[in-house]
Amino acid sequence: MQAADIHLSYTDPMTGRAPRSTRYRDTQYADLDGVVLVVRHAHRSRTGLWSAEPYERHLHGSAYAIWAEHLKDGAGGGLIFAHIRRRDLLEQIAKAVGTEEWIKAREAWMSLPRDRWWSGRRFRVVRRAPRQWWALPTDPARDAERGPWPSEQAALADLDTI
């Protein structure tokens, strides 16, 4: 994977809405290998640090303790990144995707319990090939992938999320 292949979006892919406030901070999202990363940058801060970490708003309360145990075991974050420049952060993420550490961290992340009362979208629509749109479940433990559809609009209409 190349850094140019990572597309950042201002729209939250889990809810379909932009963040409420972007004052003094830049929040963007990247969907990589089924994991949504939240990329943040604080404007006007003394450090120009860019950071990326997994999307957490849909997790159950007990998931944080399980994730902390995973990090404590020395398995490494695998999904947590930081750098001074945006371009270098994207390169760091691109180099990590597909590595053994990424795969272990992704499996641990996907096994965390999701909050069943979370009110986000049930599916995220992702393009995998020309004219092939797939619906990825927000809770991988409960749903299977659905698709393909010929367009994103057709997928959203079929999933009743328009």
Residue 118 lies in a domain: no
- Note whether 57 and 129 are same-domain residues: no
Residue 117 lies in a domain: no
Residue 96 lies in a domain: yes
The total number of structural domains in the chain stands at 2
- Note whether 59 and 104 are same-domain residues: yes
104-123 burial string, b = 16+ CB within 10 Å, else e? ebbebbeebebeeebebbeb
Which residue from 102, 150, 105, 107 is spatially nearest to 125, judged by alpha carbons? 150
> Which pLDDT does position 139 carry in this prediction?
64
- Note whether 127 and 74 are same-domain residues: no
- Note whether 63 and 91 are same-domain residues: yes
Alpha-carbon distance values, 31 to 4, 9, 46, 72, 132 (Å):
14, 9, 29, 26, 17
Residue 78 has pLDDT above 70, yes or no: yes
Give the length of the chain.
162
- Note whether 24 and 56 are same-domain residues: yes
- Note whether 66 and 128 are same-domain residues: no
Residue 65 lies in a domain: yes
Q: Could you list the residue range(s) of the whole structural domain that residue 130 is in?
A: 123-158
Q: How confident is the model over 140-161, as a mean pLDDT?
A: 73
User: Whole-prediction pTM value?
Assistant: 0.72
Q: How far, in Å, CA of 72 to CA of 54, rounded?
A: 17
Mean pLDDT, all residues of the chain: 81
The better pLDDT of the pair 157, 138 is held by 157
- Note whether 103 and 136 are same-domain residues: no
- Note whether 76 and 44 are same-domain residues: yes
- Note whether 99 and 32 are same-domain residues: yes
Question: What letter does residue 4 receive in the DSSP assignment?
Answer: G
Residue 29: its H or E element: strand 25-32
- Note whether 127 and 103 are same-domain residues: no
Residue 115 lies in a domain: no
Helices 100-110 and 63-72 pack at an angle, to 10 degrees, of: 160
Residue range 97-141, pLDDT digits in tens:
989 889 888 888 888 888 877 767 767 777 777 777 777 776 666
pLDDT band, residue 44 (cuts 50/70/90) = low
The better pLDDT of the pair 20, 154 is held by 154
- Note whether 91 and 133 are same-domain residues: no
- Note whether 43 and 75 are same-domain residues: yes
